[in-house]
């Protein structure tokens, strides 16, 4: 990697890394690379051995909402490259942690990894078997691939969020929690209403590690209201 600048080490006098334009890199790629090089969370993640800066988002959410203190079974949807799993493992080394993603994830000792689509018919059964029971916490940092068309990107993102929520409600134990990346402002009213029906508390938050220019927020839904078993519902009638 080649950087330019007036200061030592390829940095400007203000300490900012400048990326030299390369023929095979677009201007947008150069901007992304420069942002990465100057991002303190990227630097901190590398120093701490985390696979992504996103690890700090979960650490900040945990500090605010006490998500990881007592969990025994955790599912990470869209887990690649594995930064959130690392944080869970760090906090709860004896917990059963199951990760799933369409993308490959390098082995993490202590984490069961599936390269699989959450929409597959057998995904629920596969994850529950790996957990050995219902989950205390379902995490989702999934993001839809964007095509540049605002309405299409919105629909794709909302569809992914809804798929994550559907999976969470099938995996969680009563009282469990769901944490997911959502759109700016927490998604649309339909999603928020669905969450409030199924969880005791629903909060929308933008952790400090989430870039200010990003439209991402996170929803933290705690106190899952698991539906009564069919036989119990029939008895109540």
Cβ atoms 75, 171 nearer than 8 A? yes
pLDDT in single tens digits along all 237 residues of the chain: 222 333 334 444 445 545 445 556 555 555 544 455 556 888 888 989 999 999 999 999 999 999 999 999 999 999 999 999 999 999 999 999 999 999 999 999 999 999 999 999 999 999 999 999 999 999 999 877 777 777 777 788 788 889 999 999 999 999 999 999 987 755 567 888 999 999 999 999 999 998 887 888 899 999 999 887 655 544 554
Domains of the chain listed by start with CATH number? 3-38 (no CATH), 51-224 (3.40.50.150)
Cβ atoms 194, 223 nearer than 8 A? no
Separation of alpha carbons 107 and 95, rounded Å? 17
The active-site residue, picked from 57, 59, 181, 206, is 181
Provide the pLDDT for residue 5: 35
- Total-model pTM: 0.80
Closest CA to 122 of 130, 134, 110: 130
Separation of alpha carbons 52 and 41, rounded Å? 9
Provide the pLDDT for residue 25: 54
Q: What is the DSSP string of the chain?
A: --EE-SSGGGB-TTS-BEEPP-TTS-HHHHHHHHHHHT-HHHHHHHHHT-SSTTHHHHHHHHHHH--SSS-SEEEEET-TT-HHHHHHHHH-TTSEEEEEESS-----TTEEEEE--TTSTTHHHHHHHHHTS-EEEEEE---PPP-S-HHHHHHHHHHHHHHHHHHHHHHEEEEEEEEEEE-GGGS-HHHHHHHHHHEEEEEEE--TTS-TT---EEEEEEEE-PPPPHHHHHHH-
Separation of alpha carbons 75 and 135, rounded Å? 7
Decide if 181 is catalytic: yes
Separation of alpha carbons 178 and 155, rounded Å? 21
């Amino acid at each position: 990697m080649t950087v330019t600048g007036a200061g030592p080490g390829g940095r400007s006098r203000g300490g900012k890394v400048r990326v030299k334009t390369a023929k095979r890199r677009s201007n947008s790629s150069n901007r992304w690379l420069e942002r990465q090089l100057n991002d303190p969370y990227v630097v901190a993640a590398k120093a701490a051995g985390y696979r992504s800066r996103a690890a700090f988002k979960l650490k900040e959410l945990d500090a605010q909402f006490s998500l990881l203190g007592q969990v025994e079974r955790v599912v990470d949807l869209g887990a690649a490259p594995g930064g959130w799993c690392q944080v869970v493992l760090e906090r709860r080394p004896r917990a059963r942690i199951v990760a799933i993603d369409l993308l490959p994830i390098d082995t993490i000792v202590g984490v069961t990894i599936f390269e699989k689509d959450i929409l597959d018919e057998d995904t629920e059964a596969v994850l529950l078997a790996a957990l050995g029971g219902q989950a205390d916490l379902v995490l989702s940092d999934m993001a839809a691939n964007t095509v540049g068309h605002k309405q299409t990107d919105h629909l794709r993102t909302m569809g992914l969020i809804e798929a994550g929520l559907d999976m969470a409600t099938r995996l969680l134990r009563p009282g469990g929690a769901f944490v997911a990346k959502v759109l700016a402002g927490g998604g649309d009213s339909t999603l928020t209403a669905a969450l409030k029906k199924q969880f005791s508390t629903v909060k929308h938050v933008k952790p400090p590690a989430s870039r200010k220019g990003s439209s991402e927020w996170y929803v933290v839904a705690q106190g899952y209201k698991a539906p009564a078993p069919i036989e119990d519902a029939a008895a109540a009638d």
